[in-house]
A and B are shown apart, each in its own frame.
Chain A
């Protein structure tokens, strides 16, 4: 019935070839090329001039790089904590057996994720615009304020606004991932706990949460990687300026401005690699802390 040796066809490689071809051309090549550029000074005309580590030296003393990193972390942190907790709660509720209209709610919560980030930034920008924004008009019609407030002039408010957009956009997405994770938890365990008389809260903390930890780790890591790359929302919200006082200037906006409006490709590439290192560090931190927790849990 079985032939002596296993047939090794190479057709498989053909099937995976398109992805790798595209990845090499549009993914790997630009990454390596920008690594090269990060050691040069280049404005796009003529040949790049090698300058050694000069760009990296500039980053180390670059106030705006740190500020943009700080902004990114603040915006990310303020959006991601409620995003990951509220979506978990929603996921658990919508995973309950006796909730009516589950699929409707799942869909509705997911809808914001479909909207283009750039248009959300524009829309929110219009709502909070100084003289004609509907939010100010609303407050004025209620008599809470008499003069319109210049929201775009308040650094922390604008950071918060970007965070809220991100939260609103991604909590549905996180919820769907959690639901998928919840469906992977064996019903036997839950039923056993129920029969043993465990309350819902106890089940959640002692069974659901530990069993969901790989999903939570996945969410944290992807949100770190995504969060460090926040760009569209603050860019369109502030017309690309990152104002007020550069409070909404995220790292990727800073990279974009450097490379594509000031045409300092060398320094722009160096910022990209600086950002890459930061992302790697944060990913390692989250991996190790999560792993420690699960190990502790097992022990």
Chain B
């Protein structure tokens, strides 16, 4: 009995103590200001670290969520307006979907006056940062113009040169690329292809679209998309493309093995795709301009309208897009191409990449970035893009026999999934 009576006070004491300790630890961090940020990319860690160094009284609560689940999580917190982060990263694929949600802070208004920041950025990014009414809803920190990454050993063997300018000249049109591809497949006995899949063509061509999928609530198929389809079909028939699915294991392996000659990818392909997947091929790569300028991906920072820490949130967004010292450090140490043209330009004459055989890649992308046009997108585009891609694959793999059948099947599915959209 005695035992029993002493156990209860002890448990009570433990509970009480833990509560008190809990309180005391939170009271010590109260001196620091808390900022909550959600991200899907580990790039954020570097920026947050530097931000905390600069502002030691700020404690950033960074939540990393895998890209597969990120959009759903973000949209659900915005829907219920509970636990919404002060700042959140948004990838370009689903940025149009987020951008139109009326819970994002208007950054055009003072005290932000984001237009001033936009002026320093590439034009195509500026257009994407604004919603349909021209109000800035997010800031892009990344510059994403693209180029044709190529294996120098392969171009030397098959084209007789590995000089970026000469290679650019040789691949200045799809016709030329197709001819090269045909020859390469033949000479290598089917081992080597010019491109990895039809997505490579799409990477370039999808940047040249003039109309989004939905115009005035009506499904619109831009001519450029049909043109891409024709190119893809031709490329598949002439064996210009290997059948490696983008981001699949065969695709990444091909970089290391040197079975594909060209990869049209944006700036961030250098650290995130090539260095990551083929670290042993450093120095074997080059960058050339392809048939058309293009861009790919990108990340935007947005602020929650109901945030209690708007000052701090803005401080972070400003830091990530305009702070010269930080941005230079980011560009140099991470080989990171920025949305801020001024700083890119300043670094362009000096920054070279060992991975690209000491090519001046900032210089290359500064030039490429000026020519990129913005791609108009609606909140439907992400979903409809994946439907389209599926249908294109069905067509190329032969399950949908004709182009007409493919487009018909695509229209049916869009009309079905989005009854509010008019489809003819």
Query: For chains A and B in complex, what number of residue pairs have CB atoms within 8 angstroms?
Result: 51
Q: Which of A44, A131, A153, A245 contacts B248 (CB 8 A)?
A: A131
A135 at the A/B interface (Cβ < 8 Å)? no
Contact stretch, chosen from B42-50, B72-80, B115-123: B72-80
| B253 close to A241 (CB less than 8 A) | no
- Give, as a whole number of angstroms, the nearest-CB distance from B383 to chain A: 6
| A245 close to B383 (CB less than 8 A) | no
| B390 close to A132 (CB less than 8 A) | no
B397 at the A/B interface (Cβ < 8 Å)? yes
The complex places the Cα of A28 from the Cα of B249 at a distance, in Å, of 44
Q: Which of B242, B248, B383 contacts A129 (CB 8 A)?
A: B248
B interface footprint on A235-267 (CB within 8 Å = 1, 0 otherwise): 000000101110000000000001011110000
In the bound complex, residues from chain B placing their C-beta under 8 Å from that of A132 are 248-250, 253
| B248 close to A243 (CB less than 8 A) | no
In the bound complex, residues from chain A placing their C-beta under 8 Å from that of B103 are 45
A63 at the A/B interface (Cβ < 8 Å)? yes
Q: Which of A58, A243, A258, A263 contacts B75 (CB 8 A)?
A: A263
| B419 close to A58 (CB less than 8 A) | yes
Closest-by-CB residue of A relative to B80 is A44
- Give, as a whole number of angstroms, the nearest-CB distance from B219 to chain A: 15
| B390 close to A241 (CB less than 8 A) | yes
| B417 close to A262 (CB less than 8 A) | yes
In the bound complex, residues from chain A placing their C-beta under 8 Å from that of B416 are 62-64
- Give, as a whole number of angstroms, the nearest-CB distance from A56 to chain B: 14
Q: Which of A53-90 contact B (CB under 8 A)?
A: 58, 62-64
A interface footprint on B404-417 (CB within 8 Å = 1, 0 otherwise): 00000000000011
In the bound complex, residues from chain A placing their C-beta under 8 Å from that of B394 are 153, 244-245
Tell me whether A244 and B75 are in contact in the complex, defined as CB-CB below 8 angstroms, given that A64-B416, A132-B249, A132-B250 are known contacts: no
Mostly, the A contact residues are loop
The complex places the Cα of A260 from the Cα of B243 at a distance, in Å, of 31
| A45 close to B102 (CB less than 8 A) | yes
In the bound complex, residues from chain A placing their C-beta under 8 Å from that of B82 are none
B245 at the A/B interface (Cβ < 8 Å)? yes
Chain B residues touching A, range: 20 to 34
- Give, as a whole number of angstroms, the nearest-CB distance from B388 to chain A: 13
B20 at the A/B interface (Cβ < 8 Å)? no
The complex places the Cα of A150 from the Cα of B102 at a distance, in Å, of 44
| A44 close to B79 (CB less than 8 A) | yes
- Give, as a whole number of angstroms, the nearest-CB distance from B94 to chain A: 10
The complex places the Cα of A131 from the Cα of B260 at a distance, in Å, of 14
| A44 close to B243 (CB less than 8 A) | no
Closest-by-CB residue of B relative to A44 is B79
Q: Which of A131, A153, A263 contacts B250 (CB 8 A)?
A: A131
Closest-by-CB residue of B relative to A45 is B79
| B243 close to A130 (CB less than 8 A) | yes
Which among B103, B242, B245, B253 has the greatest number of chain A C-beta atoms within 10 A? B245
B399 at the A/B interface (Cβ < 8 Å)? yes
- Give, as a whole number of angstroms, the nearest-CB distance from A75 to chain B: 20
In the bound complex, residues from chain B placing their C-beta under 8 Å from that of A150 are 243, 397
A interface footprint on B386-399 (CB within 8 Å = 1, 0 otherwise): 10001000100101
* Given A44-B76, A261-B383, A263-B75, 10 new contacts (CB under 8 A): A44-B79, A45-B79, A45-B101, A45-B102, A129-B250, A130-B243, A130-B250, A131-B245, A241-B390, A262-B383
Name B's A-contacting residues (CB within 8 A): 72, 75-76, 78-79, 101-103, 242-245, 248-250, 253, 383, 386, 390, 394, 397, 399, 416-419
- Which 6 pairs show the lowest CB-CB distances between chains A and B? A131-B250, A44-B79, A132-B250, A132-B249, A153-B397, A131-B244
| 30 residue pairs from A and B, CB less than 8 Å apart | A44-B75, A44-B79, A45-B78, A45-B101, A45-B103, A58-B419, A62-B416, A64-B416, A64-B417, A126-B249, A129-B249, A130-B243, A130-B245, A131-B248, A131-B249, A132-B248, A132-B249, A132-B253, A150-B243, A153-B397, A153-B399, A241-B390, A244-B399, A245-B394, A260-B72, A261-B383, A262-B383, A262-B417, A262-B418, A263-B75
